[in-house]
Structure 1
Amino acid sequence: MSVLVLALVVEAAFGYSDRIYDWIGHPVTWLGALISTLDGALNRGHQSSDIRRAAGALTLAVIVAIAAGIAWVLESALASHWAGNIVLALLASTMLASRSLYYHVRDVANALTTEGLPVARYAVSRIVGRDPQTLDEHGVARAAIESLAENASDGVVAPAFWFLVLGLPGLAAYKAINTADSMIGHRTPRHEAFGWAAARFDDLVNLPASRLTGLLFAAAALVLPGASARDALRAMARDARRHRSPNAGWPESAMAGALGLKLNGPKSYKGILVNDAYMGEGRPDATAQDIRDALRLAGTAWGGMVAALLIAAIILQM
């Protein structure tokens, strides 16, 4: 548990070095390269849906086995002494994303405030998949807040959860599944069958963390002026299951309730309108200040999680 605390603190403080990224890439880019290779080799358009679904399941099994296997070897070699645990924490920190998420979302708020709608649309396009040109200023702000809520779970809480449960192999396996879902888990002619296993497994492994993230947002709202823990819990209970995603609705509805906003709803992806349920019953006209309030809520939630883990680690050491 102390290794996880150190990993969370290191990632929040320093993130992943751009110099290291330029030199050797990142674990997610390595996984992405492997997934792309297997996609090109095994996903053949002339094959039946059943065969492509089996090939996609095999692809997922291969990348999870490789990622978890390498992580298991590293953990087995390093976990026996304090210096090795520091290295483990540094390795784990590369698969967390609170710092980069915070700055990407903050960039949207800054753009709305000082640079105008076109720049804000570009900034939000880096963190959402919807069509940015269809968004007005309120739509850009809502999209940034929704992305923050969902990725707080996928990029921070879920990796931490799986590290806590299964160590570095669990964290690596989670990142492999999550990366596969982002690359091939789409309902497109090419990937609807091939990416089926990746999408379903991603839903499964994100289930506990998405609920936990919503609860962390509600807890953070207890200590933030102007935020409402009661409304966060009420919005989760009422709206979370209505979301198109089995997981995204929990942190999004909690965020909406806590900040008095109405999030989600109909949106456009590559010219296709997707009707989704609204999360929350508050204002739909989100602003740059609401983005900053959402960042404070998420930061407080992450800090509370780290504090709880640190207290638990100290108690276990006694």
Structure 2
Amino acid sequence: MSFHDAIPVVLAALVFDALIGDPDGIWRRWPHPVVWIGRLISALDARWNDERTTTAMRRMTGVAALATIVLITGMTAFLIDRLARLAPPPFDTLALGLIASIFIAQKSLYQHVARVSAAFRDGGLPAARRAVSMIVGRNPDALDESGVSRAAIESCAENFSDGVVAPVFWLALFGLPGLVIYKAVNTADSMIGHRSARHLMFGWASARCDDALNWIPARLSGVLVAIGGAISGGRLLEPIRTMFRDARLHRSPNAGWPEAAMAASLGVALGGPRQYPGYRVDDPFLNGEGRAVDSADIDRALRILVGACIAEFGVYAGIFVLLR
């Protein structure tokens, strides 16, 4: 699929996702495609990640596993793309947009973060801790109001990058195969790309590939968050300056960009020390001069998220107009 053909699919996918999201009724009956990808990754991990072999061999089998994941998911997406394009215009574009929307997380991200805000209002801190535990890995029992709010906002910013901006970016460049391959690599990173004893070597290729695929989208997402903040009544240049200054402070080469932009847009400090089950992370703050986060900032972050999604749609709509 050419770039010219992919842009209408991008616009359709963004609209479908904003309107439909991930309907629970459907995915309770049939496994979500990402679940199937996860099952493939788990099977390869169980069969090929032999802890009795050398570290070099485990790294090599991890590379082979990633190549297998990319090949299977890419070929499947290519075949689906070819089948969808058998429909006459504009139904081919609409069909591909609907399929692509399954892998984009605008509405579901908004809903998950909004549940934390609603939990604060309806059930106080204990309910908010339960809600935030659904979207972050840190220990919720160790979080006060500011900690829960900070976790929810950081998840909002980071997942805007890898759940919205990056999938759409690769969809625009390489069509449905590009989108699905990105989601497969991103899922592999989340499952086997961490630094545990079992996955340090086997998941090395998945983690490095995910970093590479997110490099441009993460920086683009930071700019979109800054624009979303400006749409919500904030300043534009200050978040961009903070992003370029503080993004490098994050341990991830990519997550710091949208998080730093979100921190400056809200005027708060994000990042910093975090407690996970069994260990603690002592990271510096992003926008360290900002105030402490409170629960009201979650709703403000959600407004910025909406503005950033509108800005992203506007970028691709502008490209569509220029290509006509």
TM over 0.5: yes
AA of the residue aligned to 2:8: S
AA of the residue aligned to 1:159: P
Aligned to 1:148: 156
Q: 1:301 aligns with which of 298, 308, 315?
A: 308
Residues in 1 aligned to 2:316 and 2:237: alpha-carbon distance in whole angstroms: 24
Aligned to 2:317: 310
Aligned-residue Cα RMSD (Å) equals: 1.2
Give the secondary-structure state (helix, strand or coil) at the position aligned to 1:266: strand
1:262 aligns with 2:269: yes
Residues in 1 aligned to 2:42 and 2:222: alpha-carbon distance in whole angstroms: 33
Q: 1:3 aligns with which of 9, 12, 24?
A: 9
Shift of 1:181: 0.4
Shift of 1:230: 2.2
Shift of 1:18: 1.6
Residues in 2 aligned to 1:273 and 1:217: alpha-carbon distance in whole angstroms: 28
Give the secondary-structure state (helix, strand or coil) at the position aligned to 2:275: strand
1:287 aligns with 2:291: no
1:218 aligns with 2:230: no
Report if aligned partners of 2:231, 2:304 keep a CA contact under 8 Å in 1.
no
Superposed CA deviations along residues 53-72 of structure 1, whole A, max 9, x for unmatched, are 11111111111111111111
Shift of 1:288: 2.0
**TM-score using structure 2 length:** 0.95
AA of the residue aligned to 1:206: N
AA of the residue aligned to 2:306: G
Shift of 1:17: 2.1
Q: How does 1:14-53 map to 2 (within 5 A)?
A: 14-53=20-59
Residues in 1 aligned to 2:290 and 2:130: alpha-carbon distance in whole angstroms: 24
* Greater displacement, 305-314 / 156-165: 305-314
Shift of 1:144: 0.3
Unaligned runs of 5+ residues in structure 1 are: none
Residues in 2 aligned to 1:238 and 1:130: alpha-carbon distance in whole angstroms: 26
Aligned to 2:206: 198
Report if aligned partners of 1:211, 1:251 keep a CA contact under 8 Å in 2.
yes
Give the secondary-structure state (helix, strand or coil) at the position aligned to 2:280: strand
AA of the residue aligned to 2:310: G
Residues in 1 aligned to 2:61 and 2:291: alpha-carbon distance in whole angstroms: 43
Aligned to 2:252: 245
Aligned to 2:4: none
Shift of 1:199: 0.6
AA of the residue aligned to 1:253: A
Aligned to 2:216: 208
Equivalenced residue count is: 316
1:278 aligns with 2:278: no
Superposed CA deviations along residues 145-197 of structure 1, whole A, max 9, x for unmatched, are 00000000000000000000111000010000000001001100111111111
Give the secondary-structure state (helix, strand or coil) at the position aligned to 1:188: coil
Shift of 1:282: 4.2
* Greater displacement, 96-105 / 301-310: 301-310
Instruction: Report sequence identity in percent.
Output: 46
Report if aligned partners of 1:228, 1:257 keep a CA contact under 8 Å in 2.
no
Report if aligned partners of 2:242, 2:260 keep a CA contact under 8 Å in 1.
yes
1:128 aligns with 2:136: yes
**TM-score using structure 1 length:** 0.96
Report if aligned partners of 2:114, 2:298 keep a CA contact under 8 Å in 1.
yes
